Amino acid sequence: MRILRTVGSGFLVLGALVMLAAPAGAQQLVDAGGGENGSGGVAFIAFALMVFAIGFALFFMDRVRRRASDDERR
């Protein structure tokens, strides 16, 4: 069972590395330069969504940390 868990986590890490390396091939996903096609608005929306996603992730991680520290105190 321990070997299966180790192999599974190895595949998970390998998959995460592949997923993280994939966007390196895409140089620019959203072009904010041209004003005639409205791509500046798309870039702003993408940026705003990314900021909110990072903020939510930080909030969630802090909440998990606080719950874990509260459980240790009990």
pLDDT at 58: 92
pLDDT at 20: 75
State yes or no: pLDDT of 28 exceeds 90: no
State yes or no: pLDDT of 59 exceeds 80: yes
pTM of the entire structure? 0.49
3-class secondary structure per residue, 6-61: HHHHHHHHHHHHHHHHHHHCCCCCCCCCCCCCCHHHHHHHHHHHHHHHHHHHHHHH
